[in-house]
Amino acid sequence: MKAKSNVEDLIEKTSDWSNMNAAIDACIDFIEYHKDDPRLLDIQATIGILQTYENLGELINDKFPDFNGQVIYQNNLDRQELFGNGIHAVLANGIVTSDKIKDKLKRENAKKFLLGLQNIGAKQLFKFFDVAQKELESFLVEGKAKSLVKKVTIEDAYEDAGIYYNAYLEGDIEGALQGMSYLKNLNPYDSYFRNFMGVLFETKGEHERAIQEYLIGIQQDPEDPKIMYNLMNQLSLISLHPLILELWVYYKEKGKPGKDQNVDLEIQRIVTVSKICTMGLLSKFLKITEEDISSEEESLFNELVIADRPWFKN
C-alpha cells in the first residue's frame, strides 16, 4: 500500500475533530505551505467551520468570543473568493457543505440542531439588547424622546450629525462620539444615529457596544441594509454564522433587499460564508455524508422562518 503524502495527511487531520488544536494547526500548515493546491479553498472554509464550532462552545460556557482572537480565521477566509467561485458540496476532507439534504430524518434533525445553535448565540445577544434597551428607556421623558419635548427638528439634528460625521472622517473619533451620544440621547429611536454610533464603537475596537447599537438599529428600521450589514459583519468577525442566517431570513422578509445593491452584495457574501460554515458544522455533528445530499433537493436554509427575538420588529 502506498504511504500517504504529507499533504493528504494534513487534509485528513483537518476533519479529525477529536483534537481541535491539531485540526486547526493542520489547516494553517496546509494554507501556508500548499498555496497552489486546488483544495486550498476547501481548507480555508474548514477553518471557518472550526472557528464557528469553537466560538459557539465559548458561548455555551457563557463566555463571549474575543474579537481580537480571530486573526487566523479572518486572514484565511476570503468572502469574495468563496462568493465568486463557490465551494464544493463536499470538501476535500469529506465535510459536507451542501444544505440540500435528501435524508428526511437528517434534514429534520439539521433544522432542530440549527435552531439550538441559534438559541445559544441569541442568549448572549439578549444580554446586549437588554443593556441597550434599558439605556434607551433612560433617555425618555414620560415615554417620549427628548427631541419631541425640546422640539428639536429632525433637520436640525441631522445637520448636527453631518458635523460629527465630518469629525469622524477627519479622525476625531472621540469628538464624533461625544456629539452623536448627545443626539442619541435626544432621540434614541433614530436608526441613523444608532448605525453611526455602532461604526464609531467599531472604530474604537468596542465591538460589543457596536452590536448593542446595531440591535436597536435593526429593531427600529429593519429596512436599512447598512445596519443589517454592519451587524452581520460584527457577528461574522467572531464566526457566529447561525445567527447571521437568522438575520438574513428576517432581512429578506422585513427589509428591503435591492435598496442598496452594493450593500446587498456584501450581505450576500457574508451569508454565503455563513451557510458554508453552518452547514459544515451541522454535517459534522449529524454525520451527514455525500450520500445524504442531492442537488435536486430544496435548500434547507430556504425553509428557515423568522425567529422570535425582541430585536425583530413584528
- pLDDT tens sequence across 19-78: 998 999 999 899 889 989 999 989 989 998 999 999 999 999 888 888 876 544 444 455
Cα dihedral 95/99/103/106 (nearest 10): 70
What does the pLDDT read at residue 157? Answer: 94
Mean pLDDT, residues 166-189: 97
Query: Residue 102 in contact with residue 297, Cβ under 8 Å?
Result: yes
Model confidence at 82, pLDDT cuts 50, 70, 90, reads: low
Instruction: State yes or no: pLDDT of 79 exceeds 60.
Output: no
pLDDT single digits (tens) 209-264:
999 999 999 999 999 999 999 999 999 988 899 999 999 999 999 888 888 999 99
What does the pLDDT read at residue 4? Answer: 56
If phi over 0 gives left and psi between -120 and 50 gives alpha, with beta otherwise, what is residue 249?
Answer: alpha
Q: Which three cell numbers stand for residue 120?
A: 445559544
Query: Residue 197 in contact with residue 181, Cβ under 8 Å?
Result: yes
pLDDT single digits (tens) 114-155:
999 999 999 999 999 999 999 999 999 999 999 988 898 999
- Which amino acid is located at 188 in the chain? P
Provide the sign of the torsion angle of the four alpha carbons 258, 264, 265, 268, taken in this order.
negative
* Rounded (5°) CA angle 242-278-196: 40
Cα–chain-centroid distance for residue 4? 37
Q: Which three cell numbers stand for residue 212?
A: 448593542
Instruction: State yes or no: pLDDT of 18 exceeds 60.
Output: yes
Cβ count near 6 (within 10 Å): 12
